[in-house]
Structure 1
Amino acid sequence: MTDIEYGRQKQLLRVRGRNVSWVPPLLLLVGIVLLDFNTTERFRIITWIVLVPGSAAAICGVWSTGAFAVLAVVTYVAVDSAWPNQYQAGLGDFVLVALGGLLATIASGVRVSKERQALHFQDIAETTRRTVLRPLPPRWAGLEHAGVYLAADVDARVGGDFYDIQPGLHGTRVFVGDVQGKGLAAVETAAALLGTFREAGYHEKDLASVAERLEIRMLRHRSHSTALGRDDGDRFATAVLIAFPEDAPDTVEIVNFGHEAPLAVGPGGVRELPSGDGLPLGLSDLVPTEPIVHRVPLAADETLLLVTDGVTEARDRTGTFYPLARDIAPAAAADPGGAGRGDTAPRELVRRVRDGVLRHSGGRLGDDTTAFAVRRIREAGGEGSEESEGGEGGEGGRLRS
């Protein structure tokens, strides 16, 4: 990793796009030299110049740290030689400065190597997550949507939250959920569920049949994990399955697997849709039950907002939960005409939720956090027809964080 590449990672040490990580060590060097010249011979501090490459090792690249180590040695010799012989620090301190610079350069190399390795792992995690959460165009299958994902573990950037849209033979379906647990095992479970959703959501006529297929897939996945001797054989997932019937433009069908209740946000305010009256996916072997399909009205000017428990369980310093409905209520009030271009637009809505959660929690996320907003495209001949499936490669409506 070159100094330029490393500087791009150190966003806090950039001013107007320029890397300024070299400024603090240089100011420290100048300050030590000035102090040494402006103190008496009884208080020589030129030896403190060993701190210059030490500070550079913490924030600069290897070559920059090495340059500061050499500069520290040269400066030490020049400044110390300017004093009379009886007041010079001498050879012992010279060795200290030289050895300190060498060790600082080595330490910088180790640090940069570790950071490069961490960035590589982040790239792997990001690629894995993007594989599971396939990119979608912002207008897709008759729907306009946007999603934001915040990982509680900023280093891993991977978890079990998921969402997807699948056009099919019987309308468009939406699937949003949260797999219990974290790490690659949770991602694997999410991938299994999304794969089944994409097939069943396309072919099955009834939403209840899609829900049954998802439950069966979850049970099979748990059985496979148990057979492999893993300790996640009791994993489950909460989720919401939504259908937008083509023959009923003012209604949606919802199956809620123990998930947070969806919210409908529009000119009329914020209202809660059917809550999690169903069992989470993967628990039907404990309590056999049939999926409950709710058919509820959804006005053309309303946007559906679905979140994971990372949103509703976000706390501030006093332990107060994030007031989601109260926080997004101004969005509905700001868009009284339901024009579709105000604060209830999916992209604006999830941005408000993201900013609200981070502000409320002070940036300390206790769980992976996902917000997903979706609504029907009201323009004639919407742009999200099934034929546009070839456009999945774009980043679409997903906000990056």
Structure 2
Amino acid sequence: MRRVPERVSLTVVTDHPAPRRWQDLPRRQPLQWARGRSFSWAAPLLLLAGITAVDLNTTERFRIISWIVLVPGIAAAICGVWATAVFAVLAVLDYIAVDSVWPHQYQAGLPDFILVAFAGLLAILACAVRAGSERRLLHMRDIAETTRRTVLRPLPPGWAGLDHAEVYLAADTVARVGGDFYDIQPGPHGTRVLVGDVQGKGLGAVEAAAALLGTFREAGYHEKDLATVAGRLETRMLRHRGHTVALGRDDGDRFATAVLLGFPPGVRDAVEMVNFGHEPPLAVGPTGVRALPQGDGLPLGMAELATASGLPPTRTVTLAADETLLVTTDGVTEARNADGEFYALPEEAARAATSDPALLVAHLRDGVLRHSRGRLSDDTTIFAIRRTATP
């Protein structure tokens, strides 16, 4: 469950800012931009002009025209293939022009000409390889982004009668996916919310999170009792583990902590809650911050270790109309600063002085990143919800 950020949805999603770009594979963006125009060609052009000027304005004892081999090399690092080819040709032509200005006895001659021409060809080849690698990397990021949006689907504003804001910051900034999960599922028996964290990292954690969310979306809609939804989640986790064991993988002991919430229809001051070993949610309101009952249940996938029925009890908690439920994963509470101190979530939530979900989540997101200096050791989710002002 360990390992900035990439996605924020305050019903804004930053991912890493809003990762809602689902066009075709994005094209490579040049490094230098000004007013919407690329100026990546400026550096090799200035280097070309500088080498030419210095060589022409110094004595024969300081001939540096052969340094022009650097020009296509710089272009290969920051420009496209065609631009690199242009600079390779310019370097050769410039070399011929400048070298021929000098008397024959001071000319660099054929050996350096071959060096400049050969360096230009190598630069073009290197640029083509680099461009291909960038295209593959962009394609991989596009796949990772699609995977994340499949697991953590976008939630419409005011979805299912709830004001909500959520931030997901993946510790793996390359893969940009992890084991944290959340969702809101409306249904005939009220609105259900699930926020959790799968133990471990990598694709195995993503698979487990996707399995749990798929079950939640079905059970949360069809099942009348929240306890039945909880039971379905426990069964799904066990089935998923059994499948991974049958495949010969070594993650057959994976589990997940989670908070399952139910907002019954017609009841505006009560919330049902099942806590699977997760840190208890906080109720944030104008009068301060209070912790809801501590989770005394075992994580999903470990019910067989319990002495009683196995599943955590369903609790009903009172929530004022101006209070917001705040659920976070341990990437928040375990974020450390340079002195090794943990992030003080309750105090920071109180310091936010707001119960608006979007403002609260934005405050905590910035606080966690500032506290950890942007070095998150675990996937981090901050999820805030409250009933809308009107049913």
- TM-score, normalised with respect to structure 2: 0.88
> Deviation at 1:315?
2.3
> Deviation at 1:142?
0.9
Is it true that 1:234 corresponds to 2:253 in the alignment? Answer: yes
Q: Is the 8 A contact 1:212 1:291 kept in 2?
A: no
How has the CA–CA distance of structure 1 residues 240 and 39 changed in structure 2, closer, same or farther, with 3 Å as cutoff? same
Between 133-142 and 267-276, the greater mean CA deviation after superposition: 267-276
CA deviation string 1:48-68 (max 9, x = no partner): 111111112122211111111
> Matches of 1:58 and 1:322 in 2, distance apart?
41
CA deviation string 1:217-258 (max 9, x = no partner): 111111111111111111111111111122431121211112
The one-letter code of the counterpart of 1:367 is: D
Where do 5+ consecutive residues of structure 2 fail to align? 1-25
Q: Is the 8 A contact 1:158 1:182 kept in 2?
A: no
Corresponding residue for residue 36 of structure 1: 55
Between 311-320 and 128-137, the greater mean CA deviation after superposition: 311-320
**Segments of 4+ moved more than 4 angstroms:** none
The one-letter code of the counterpart of 1:317 is: A
Task: Output aligned runs, 1:174-323, within 5 Å.
Answer: 174-288=193-307, 289-323=310-344
> Matches of 1:53 and 1:360 in 2, distance apart?
43
> Deviation at 1:96?
0.9
CA deviation string 1:114-170 (max 9, x = no partner): 111111111111111111222221111111112222222222111111111111222
> Deviation at 1:274?
2.6
The one-letter code of the counterpart of 2:323 is: E
> Matches of 2:137 and 2:96 in 1, distance apart?
39
Corresponding residue for residue 95 of structure 1: 114
> Matches of 1:171 and 1:147 in 2, distance apart?
21
> Deviation at 1:327?
2.8
> Matches of 2:135 and 2:76 in 1, distance apart?
15
> Deviation at 1:318?
3.1
The one-letter code of the counterpart of 2:358 is: R
The one-letter code of the counterpart of 1:378 is: A
Is it true that 1:370 corresponds to 2:381 in the alignment? Answer: yes
Corresponding residue for residue 44 of structure 2: 25
Task: Output aligned runs, 1:124-163, within 5 Å.
Answer: 124-163=143-182
Q: Is the 8 A contact 1:118 1:155 kept in 2?
A: no
Is it true that 1:355 corresponds to 2:376 in the alignment? Answer: no
The one-letter code of the counterpart of 2:384 is: A
> Matches of 1:308 and 1:287 in 2, distance apart?
23
> Matches of 2:240 and 2:261 in 1, distance apart?
23
Corresponding residue for residue 71 of structure 1: 90
Question: Percent sequence identity over matched residues?
Answer: 70
Q: Is the 8 A contact 1:303 1:345 kept in 2?
A: yes
Between 231-240 and 151-160, the greater mean CA deviation after superposition: 151-160
SS at match of 2:305: coil
SS at match of 1:350: helix
RMSD of Structure 2 on Structure 1 (CA): 1.8
How has the CA–CA distance of structure 1 residues 363 and 42 changed in structure 2, closer, same or farther, with 3 Å as cutoff? same
Q: Is the 8 A contact 1:310 1:370 kept in 2?
A: yes
> Deviation at 1:6?
1.8
> Matches of 1:16 and 1:320 in 2, distance apart?
43
> Deviation at 1:275?
3.2
Q: Is the 8 A contact 1:41 1:87 kept in 2?
A: yes
Between 140-149 and 320-329, the greater mean CA deviation after superposition: 320-329
SS at match of 2:131: helix
SS at match of 1:285: helix
The one-letter code of the counterpart of 1:20 is: F
